[in-house]
């Protein structure tokens, strides 16, 4: 749990200060490593708010990073049972 | 003979609750973030300002201790300044021609009132070729206002306005289409953004284009938008592909002018 929180904090700071080619792969790694990484969806929205065209209530399905994160988490749910991580 | 079968220990897991939670969070997140987007950027913008100030300050103090490095950096800055001045000169020569053209158009005047704005974030921090500037509705900025470099070249348009800051969508945003004119023979073209300050133009094979040709905006007070960097022609294709690049280095812009 501590690792998860620290990683989330690092990811949050990376989104604010670092280039996208650092924080987007970090987000992907976090989604793969941590079980049900729901924080990733919030980070997706956060990226779209700060650097994208904003998130408006209904067409936010087109908010790309949050949407891709949701898909990834759902796809990884059954896959995770067959993988083992030491986290 | 009696047979014993092992029980299957892998029973089917039900993920529906987790999926509902994820989708619910997504919908709630969309609603919450759409309500608080202004507040979020307002909270984060002092951090960006501090980061900009810190990185510049750090650069200056490091130069003091590393004289060779300092000279190299100064050289870099002077080169940057030189290219900026070159841009300004080319823009001025363009203005001269433009003025002559305008004189022939009776009753039309081009009046540009602009406001200077500091850049808070730029690519590669943003994955979408978007720039956040520190001037907003309070400064009279509206959606659709054109954004240029202080030297003149056109960068993009304001896509969102908040009270104290705005988001600028660069013309080089991937998939973004902009009407423009190839300066050489005044050929109207469509610039297609490819990200990171790059553009693609498709023109008929017969159109004369040379490396270094300038691409101007199609509006009355036309400004420099891109410079031709590469031309791709295949023997079987009736069209040729032109790759152009924004004259501005979008990865290091500090200030822009927003035309009201």
Please tell me if residue B127 touches chain A, with a CB cutoff of 8 Å: yes
Whether residue A49 is predicted with pLDDT greater than 70 in this model: the reply is: yes
Rg (CA), chain A: 13
Angle between helices A64-80 and A39-51 (to 10 degrees): 160
Residues on chain A touching B47 (C-beta within 8 angstroms): 16-17
A36 within a domain of the structure (yes/no)? yes
- Label residue B110 by pLDDT band (50, 70, 90): low
Please tell me if residue B117 touches chain A, with a CB cutoff of 8 Å: no
- Label residue A57 by pLDDT band (50, 70, 90): very low
A62 within a domain of the structure (yes/no)? yes
Whether residue B131 is predicted with pLDDT greater than 70 in this model: the reply is: yes
Residues on chain A touching B46 (C-beta within 8 angstroms): none
- Label residue B186 by pLDDT band (50, 70, 90): confident
How much helix, strand and coil, in percent to the nearest 5, is found in chain B? 35, 30, 35
**A70-74, B77-81, B218-222, B252-256, range with greatest mean pLDDT:** A70-74
Q: Distance (Å, rounded) from C-alpha A35 to C-alpha B28?
A: 21
Q: How many CB atoms lie within 10 A of CB B215?
A: 29
pLDDT in tens, B158-175: 888 888 888 888 888 888
Lowest-pLDDT range, B15-29, B81-95, B227-241? B81-95
Q: How far is A19 from chain B (nearest CA, A)?
A: 4
- Label residue B8 by pLDDT band (50, 70, 90): low
- More reliable by pLDDT, A66 or A87: A66
CB contact under 8 A, B126 and A52: yes
Domain of residue A60, residue span: 2-80
In chain B, what are the domain boundaries? 177-245
Cα dihedral value A23, A76, B35, B166, nearest 10: 30
Name the percent of chain B lying above pLDDT 90.
0
- The label of the residue with tokens 């993988």 reads A83
Of 2.40.10.350, 3.40.50.620, 3.30.499.10, 1.10.10.10, the CATH number of B177-245 is 2.40.10.350
- Label residue A10 by pLDDT band (50, 70, 90): very high
pLDDT in tens, B204-251: 888 888 888 888 887 766 778 888 888 888 878 788 888 888 887 888
Look at chain A and report how many structural domains it folds into.
Answer: 1
- More reliable by pLDDT, B65 or B142: B142
Q: How far is B250 from chain A (nearest CA, A)?
A: 13
CB contact under 8 A, A77 and B19: yes
ipTM of this model?
Answer: 0.80
Q: In the prediction, which pLDDT does A25 show?
A: 92
Whether residue A55 is predicted with pLDDT greater than 60 in this model: the reply is: no
Q: Distance (Å, rounded) from C-alpha B130 to C-alpha B158?
A: 10
pLDDT in tens, B36-84: 877 888 888 888 888 777 776 666 666 666 677 777 888 888 888 787 7
Q: What are phi and psi of B121, to 5 degrees?
A: -140, 150
């Amino acid at each position: 749990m501590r690792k998860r929180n620290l990683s989330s904090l690092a990811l949050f700071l990376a989104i604010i200060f670092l280039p996208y080619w650092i924080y987007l792969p970090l987000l992907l790694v976090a989604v793969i490593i941590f079980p049900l990484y729901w924080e990733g969806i919030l980070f997706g929205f956060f990226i779209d708010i700060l650097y994208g065209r904003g998130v408006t209530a209904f067409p936010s399905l087109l908010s790309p990073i949050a949407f891709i994160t949701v898909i990834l988490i759902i796809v990884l749910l059954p896959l995770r049972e067959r993988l083992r991580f030491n986290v | 003979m009696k047979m014993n079968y092992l029980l299957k220990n892998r029973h089917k897991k039900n993920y529906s609750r987790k999926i509902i939670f994820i989708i619910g969070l997504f919908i709630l997140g969309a609603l919450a973030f759409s309500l608080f987007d202004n507040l979020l950027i307002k909270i984060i913008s002092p951090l960006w300002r501090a980061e900009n100030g810190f990185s510049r300050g750090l650069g200056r103090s490091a130069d003091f201790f590393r004289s060779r490095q300092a000279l190299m950096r100064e050289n870099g800055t002077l080169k940057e300044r030189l290219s900026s001045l070159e841009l300004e000169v080319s823009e001025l020569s363009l203005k001269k021609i433009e003025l002559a053209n305008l004189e022939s158009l009776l009753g039309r005047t081009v009046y540009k009132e602009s406001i200077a704005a500091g850049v808070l974030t730029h690519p590669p921090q943003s994955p979408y070729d978007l720039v956040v500037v520190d001037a907003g509705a309070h400064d009279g900025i509206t959606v659709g206002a054109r954004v240029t470099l202080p030297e003149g070249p056109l960068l993009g348009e304001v896509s969102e306005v908040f009270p104290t800051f705005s988001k600028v969508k660069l013309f080089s945003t991937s998939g973004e289409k902009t009407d423009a004119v190839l300066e050489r023979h005044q050929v109207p073209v469509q610039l297609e953004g490819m990200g990171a300050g790059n553009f693609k133009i498709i023109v008929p094979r017969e159109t004369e284009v040379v490396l270094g040709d300038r691409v101007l905006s199609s509006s009355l007070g036309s400004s420099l938008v891109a410079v031709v960097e590469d031309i791709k022609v295949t023997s079987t294709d009736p069209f040729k592909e032109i790759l152009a690049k924004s004259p501005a280095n979008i990865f290091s812009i500090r200030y822009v002018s927003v035309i009201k």
